[in-house]
Amino acid sequence: MSHADPLRLERLAIGELAEVDLTLAPGEILCLSGASGSGKSRLLRAIADLEPHDGEAWLGDRAQSAIPGHAWRRAVMLVPAESHWWAERVGEHFHDPEEADLQALGFERDVLDWSVARLSSGEKQRLALLRAVSREPAALLLDEPTANLDDATAHQVEAWLVARIREHGLPVVWVAHDIAQIRRVADRHCRIKGGTLETEKEGAWT
């Protein structure tokens, strides 16, 4: 599975959400919104092959159902709202992050020596994004990636993230509630209403 592949959903359905047919081009950001409990996170988990679902997801010409789950999730990577940390030290979760990326996200290199327990929720969120991007996935699924950040830091993270998405040609589903953020980052905006995925007209959110 190479980079710059489209991500396609074909009659994908989970829970109360009706079948979704959707194609995301390489480098395209689709922002997904909807009321709490409408199924946004479950849709991301279905795309990541973390929950049983109907239908199929494709990365380029490779079907999710034809690929082992761990391999699919390495390529189609979910960054959940609450990130998971399995080692004591921050640096144990990274290979060798770029200095420029750390600085762009507001860190010095010594953060790699920090204990994970020392991190605030916002620091965890920023580092989880860096961890995901540094693993060179072919697509990203982002569940409210700036929810724990103040406005200034959110803007900083957005700029870094969008630049990486464009640079690597990653199709991205980005769950967001903030209409201002959606206006800044989205190429397309879909909303889950009444169990269906509806495309918002551009004039309604730009």
What is the pLDDT tens value at each position of the chain, 206 positions in all?
Answer: 445 899 999 999 999 999 999 999 999 999 999 998 889 999 999 999 999 999 999 999 999 999 999 999 999 999 998 999 999 999 999 988 999 999 999 999 999 999 999 999 999 999 999 999 999 999 999 999 999 899 999 999 999 999 999 999 999 999 999 999 999 999 999 999 999 999 987 766 55
Query: Pick from 44, 41, 116: which is nearest to 84 by CA?
Result: 116
- Alpha helices by DSSP H, the chain: 40-47, 69-75, 99-104, 121-134, 151-168, 179-185
pLDDT at 122 (0 to 100):
94
pLDDT at 164 (0 to 100):
95
pLDDT at 201 (0 to 100):
78
183's CB contacts (< 8 A; 6+ apart) are 205, 206
- Estimate the crossing angle of helix 151-168 against helix 121-134, to 10 degrees: 10
Residue 108: what residue type? E
pLDDT at 2 (0 to 100):
43
Q: Count Cα atoms within 13 angstroms, Cβ side, for 107.
A: 26
Q: Are 178 and 205 in contact (CB under 8 A)?
A: no
Q: What is the pTM of this model?
A: 0.94
pLDDT at 206 (0 to 100):
53
3-state secondary structure of 49: coil
Residue 21: what residue type? D
Query: Pick from 200, 188, 147: which is nearest to 29 by CA?
Result: 188
Q: Are 93 and 87 in contact (CB under 8 A)?
A: yes
Domain spans, the chain: 7-204
Which CATH code fits 7-204?
Answer: 3.40.50.300
